[in-house]
Structure 1
Amino acid sequence: MGISRRCTHISSLLTIPPTSHPTQPPKASTGPGPNKQQPPNGMALVCISVTLNSPPDCGKICNTELQCNLVSDDYTLHGPIFIQEPSHVMFPLDSEEKKVKLTCEVKGNPKPHIRWKLNGTDVDIGMDFRYSVVEGSLLINNPNKTQDAGMYQCIATNSFGTIVSREAKLQFAYLENFKPRTRSTVSVRQGQGMVLLCGPPAHSG
């Protein structure tokens, strides 16, 4: 009677908390490479591949391959956190750049959604082509002191919560020309002093 020969292959995927990460991942043994899989958020993957061989003349009794994929903080689920909040900006109207940037940098997982408020009202990016949000920061093209001056706030939201930045004031620096007008005649006696008033033109900054 012939001897029945059978080789069994078992693959297993284990998950361990991020706090259980080893300092260095163990090296895989010789043989086919382990099955690589994308780690889920907040977890580390341990991929184990085991081949059981029976009877003994089929080969090695047990061949185990172990790979531990370490997971960085980017995979940890958490609410939004400010890396950099917006600061006050003084923008000169005669600037050649014609662009204002209010910086806001946020991290979070899932990636937070960023929106901005001006004087407590949402900035509608879709309705005004001058506004755009680039990597969280607010860009204002061709800024106008009548429409754009005020207090700005950055709001970041994901499924874990919402955070609101400190207020950042956007001011415009300008100096208008003197108003052209004729002054009235002032008569004085010889040797007497006099005062000619001169008020500054409208300005800011």
Structure 2
Amino acid sequence: MATRRRCLLSRLLGLLLSALVGVTHGSELSFTLEPSDIIAVQEQPLMLHCQVDGIPPITTQWRRNGAALSEDHNYAMFANGSLLIGRFQQTKSDGSADEGDYECVAQNSFGLVVSRKARVQAASK
């Protein structure tokens, strides 16, 4: 009888451990798609992709050269993580540029991950 209880207890502990490991693993954020280097054409739209797997809710944000981007008339951030640059400009009237190193930042209640840097360069004329 004691052997049978130990066997049952061992199986129950194994199931519990499996369940706990599954929850821990599923909470970690991981990229399923990271942005890639791209050559951009002046005055044309440009899309950078980013997809993350993990426990929702997951928020994504984009950075250019380490600074956070905010949505405006030229930048649109989609729920799937992608970033649209509506009209790529090598040099803008204010002296800024769309060229640079872009990275996707994803976060949920368990942590934060940062993608690889994707270099966006203007096509040469």
TM-score (norm 2): 0.72
1:166 deviates by 1.0
Tell me the distance in 2 between the aligned counterparts of 1:163 and 1:129: 27
Higher strand share: 1
Residue identity opposite 1:122 in structure 2: A
Structure 1: unaligned runs, 5 residues or longer: 1-15, 21-41, 43-72, 176-205
1:92 deviates by 2.3
The CA deviation string for residues 150-187 of structure 1, in whole angstroms up to 9 with x for no partner, is 00010000111000111101011131xxxxxxxxxxxx
- Runs (4+) of structure 1 exceeding 2 A deviation are 16-20
Q: Is the 8 A contact 2:41 2:88 kept in 1?
A: no
Q: Is the 8 A contact 1:80 1:162 kept in 2?
A: yes
Structure number with greater Rg is 1
Higher helix share: 2
SS at match of 2:32: strand
Q: In angstroms, what is the RMSD of aligned CA positions?
A: 2.4
2:87 aligns to what?
142
The CA deviation string for residues 69-104 of structure 1, in whole angstroms up to 9 with x for no partner, is xxxx8xx7502110011110101227xxx2101111
Identity of aligned residues (%): 34
Structure 2: unaligned runs, 5 residues or longer: 1-14, 92-96
Q: Is the 8 A contact 1:79 1:159 kept in 2?
A: no
TM-score (norm 1): 0.45
